[in-house]
Structure 1
Amino acid sequence: MSTTGKLKSSSSELDFDRPNIEDYLPSGSTIQQEPHGKLCLRDLLNISPTLSEAAGAIVDDSFTRCFKSNPPEPWNWNVYLFPLWCFGVLVRYLILFPARYRVLVLTIGWMIFLSSFIPVHFLLKGHDKLRRKIERSLVEMMCSFFVASWTGVVKYHGPRPSIRPKQVFVANHTSMIDFIILEQMTAFAVIMQKHPGWVGLLQSTILESVGCIWFNRSEAKDREIVAKKLREHVLGTDNNPLLIFPEGTCVNNHYTVMFKKGSFELGCTVCPVAIKYNKIFVDAFWNSRKQSFSKHLLRLMTSWAVVCDVWYLEPQNQKPGETAIEFAERVRDIISVRAGLKKVPWDGYLKYSHPSPKLKQGKQQNFADSVLRRLEEEK
């Protein structure tokens, strides 16, 4: 069998994504088999750039690592600790979850919130200022019930933010619960991805009462609309402080990806907020591509506790001659250092996209060219 036949066989049996070299050969050309069917070292070295790039992508993929949950080392797999772990599972799922600080707390919270929010929302429509003030307090209260349902142990550092015009708060992003943890202290208006299901219903009804702004990644015109809403919001004197997660996606609380520059082009003061979760009881990272938010909440509510530190850092202003991108990187530095996170030079939106066919074809063409050069040397 010729080497071409072997390549076809291995490609169909082992790796369907491997490029078919024959497609890039000139018409009538074939790949001849080496004497005795042995692969020479010079053949391997001839395509070493391709192999090095592939190995680097597999071994040191710093982009993928930003969006992977890193579970702690198991501690319970021995004869002494395993029974204790089993007992803990029973306590968390059969006692804590349905009773004390879990479903019962959250149910009571929703009953109090809805019985207060609905009358206020509809009966005080002619008194907008009073209605907004009461709704802010109710949203803060409901977020506190959420945190209590996880037995949240949250420590806040720094002064509590105040309501001022022309300021925006930016924070690193691990999960949608970042918003809940910050909201229980201050009624922020957040800019957030529009979600389906019950989360989307909450966004379009309750959270819009605090001035939240939603966007949809699939809509190209959304960026212009959202940018206009942001500028209008920061100029309002009675609007809730604006909270933005400039990474644009949830990252696993070990890294920070590139900050979008839109938050830093508003011409206002930027107040950095650093959030760091302790994984001693549960990993708070939400991988929205693999897990619904309902399942994420269930995992939090069946853990012992959610432990978290929040730092309100010194406000920053854009320096003379500093671009929006440089300003964003400077703020990211401040947050990363305070929370102990590693910076990586990736755009988080790549998580929602796939390599273009043109990029893949270019890689395949480079690989085929290296093989053709090797064939020409053998002639």
Structure 2
Amino acid sequence: MMLLDSIGSVFSVIALKPIIMLMFFVIFLASIGKSIGVRRMYVNMLVRIFEYGRQNIESVRKLQYSNLNSSDVDEVALTTKELSTDSIDQSSNSAKINNVTKLNGVVTQMVNGDTNNGNSVISRVESLILLPGVENCPSKNRDSNQQDEIETLEFNLSNCLDYVKSGMEAIIEDEVTSRFEAEELKNWNLLTRTNRHYEFISLRLTVIWVIGFFIRYVILMPCRVFICFVGVVNCVVGFAIVGLIPNKKLRIMANDYVFKHTFRIFCRSLSAVIRFHSREYKPKNCGFCVANHTTPIDVAILSTDHSYSLIGQRHGGFLGILQRALARASPHIWFERAEAKDRMAVARRLKEHVSDPTNPPILIFPEGTCINNTSVMQFKKGSFEVGGVIYPVAIKYDARFGDAFWNSSRFSMLQYLYMMMTSWAIVCDVWYLPPMTRNEDESAIDFANRVKSVIAKQGGLVDLVWDGQLKRMKPKKEWKEKQQEEFTKRLKGE
């Protein structure tokens, strides 16, 4: 038995040796910022597999459609023909319209799958959209002719109907809540967290799903955890050594290398494929790099190409370890969200930071919370009041390979990392945009909105005016009062 155990141990070591050597080779490539193209080949292969899965699902759906009860199909055709005549009474007409709609809905769902893409349940056509700044934009869809007509009207009970309609739409689906849910995919990506009960729809797709499950959980996940562990050790030890260097110039150079080296390892642990665009606009020192915020991984994504000073909420646990390690080697700004007094201190430290040309640019996410990468929400004005150059950056993730959005109210950081390490990959595009400065006659809010619109346009995101903190707090009292004032003016005919 002892001999058999020894032989088994030897074979285990022999089997693990190539895998360990491969992981260290990946870490070495990350340390020098090089790639041999394996991850891109892997992503391209996944795209072809997803496309095959889509075709397989569609073929099964078409088969189900063809097997529909012929009487149901005949009823659709007959009812449609009857509805075109004038001899049908109103009550029966209404009932048959409902039947046709229901049957056509079944047919559509069987052919194309679920028609709802997760972004919108209702269609807001010519409805009154109430925004926080109603004095500037009381309605998105109210044209000038309609406005002139309303101003000449006296009190009419129907004046409140558009507000009632807008309120009902907000109850069904508001613009804010849907931005804190995972982006729903048009096609299934073989992950059970985005499952639409497709894994058992056909034998071929089941086999592919089982193989993919084995690869993600048995092969990729252990390797990714090991590489991430090496990255954490490199972060803690590397920045501790950098912090001991007395010469400032040498310390800055060492910090730049260790900073990018560390976050490249973290990104390799997630099989991240990052495409940078317009690198001539890369942020310079003593400025602000402003980006939309989807996940804490945003920091790692951007830091593979440039070193930054970070600003954000002070965390505990895993993130706290990284924050304390980073602070040993370079200037970073951590604050408590609940402490209002910290805002003044943060603004003062920001001014001090940008006044030193040797400091790295500050990486800021003005939304203050993670959004699901479908939109950009209100930018806080604090970082736009300090002055200095703003370097906008747009980040867009490809949700087919893994949903990068972190719902912090639902998942802890470790749960989120577990989900990322069992996803297929993290694929994203990063656009560096031309630097922007605040105009003399421009307020900080207007400047923030201008930067936000540029980022939203480049990233193909929806530009929203709502504050992302609405997922944690109730609307401000001032917003309610503005809506009441606007409604009062409409009733008075002003």
Q: TM-score of the superposition, structure 1-length normalised?
A: 0.76
Matched to 1:66, the amino acid is R
Matched to 1:225, the amino acid is A
> Pick from 230, 245, 270: which aligns with 1:150?
270
Structure 1 CA distance, aligned partners of 2:353 and 2:233? 31
CA RMSD of aligned residues (A): 2.8
Q: Which residue of 1 aligns with 2:447?
A: 327
Instruction: Give how far 1:238 is off.
Output: 0.9
Q: Which residue of 1 aligns with 2:130?
A: none
Structure 2 CA distance, aligned partners of 1:314 and 1:359? 34
Q: Deviations over 1:166-204 (max 9, x none)?
A: x21110110111011111211111211111212113212
Q: TM-score of the superposition, structure 2-length normalised?
A: 0.59
8 A Cα contact 2:235 2:322, kept in partner: no
Higher mean C-alpha displacement, 127-136 vs 191-200: 127-136
| Aligned pairs for 1:172-251 within 5 A | 172-207=292-327, 209-251=329-371
8 A Cα contact 2:309 2:362, kept in partner: yes
8 A Cα contact 1:187 1:210, kept in partner: no
Structure 1 portions without partners, runs of 5+: 1-44, 364-379
Q: Which residue of 2 aligns with 1:109?
A: 231
Distance 1:344 1:208, change over 3 A: farther
Q: Report sequence identity in percent.
A: 39
8 A Cα contact 1:71 1:283, kept in partner: no
Distance 1:315 1:104, change over 3 A: same
Matched to 1:264, the amino acid is F
Is 1:309 aligned to 2:433, yes or no?
no
Is 1:55 aligned to 2:168, yes or no?
yes
Structure 2 CA distance, aligned partners of 1:84 and 1:174? 30
Instruction: Give how far 1:205 is off.
Output: 3.0
Structure 1 CA distance, aligned partners of 2:464 and 2:475? 19
Distance 1:359 1:255, change over 3 A: closer
> Pick from 274, 285, 300: which aligns with 1:164?
285
Q: Deviations over 1:198-217 (max 9, x none)?
A: 21132123245332211222
Structure 2 CA distance, aligned partners of 1:50 and 1:115? 59
Comparing both structures, which one devotes a greater share of its residues to helix? 2
8 A Cα contact 1:150 1:305, kept in partner: yes
Instruction: Give how far 1:248 is off.
Output: 0.9
Question: How many residues of Structure 1 are paired with residues of Structure 2 in the alignment?
Answer: 315
8 A Cα contact 2:307 2:360, kept in partner: yes
Structure 2 portions without partners, runs of 5+: 1-157, 191-197, 484-494
Is 1:71 aligned to 2:195, yes or no?
no
Instruction: Give how far 1:314 is off.
Output: 0.4
Is 1:91 aligned to 2:215, yes or no?
yes
Structure 1 CA distance, aligned partners of 2:465 and 2:388? 25
Distance 1:74 1:196, change over 3 A: same
Structure 1 CA distance, aligned partners of 2:260 and 2:277? 18
Q: Which residue of 2 aligns with 1:29?
A: none
Structure 2 CA distance, aligned partners of 1:202 and 1:254? 28
Distance 1:104 1:53, change over 3 A: same
- Segments ≥4 residues shifted beyond 6 Å: 47-50, 356-360
Distance 1:318 1:118, change over 3 A: closer
Q: Which residue of 2 aligns with 1:257?
A: 377
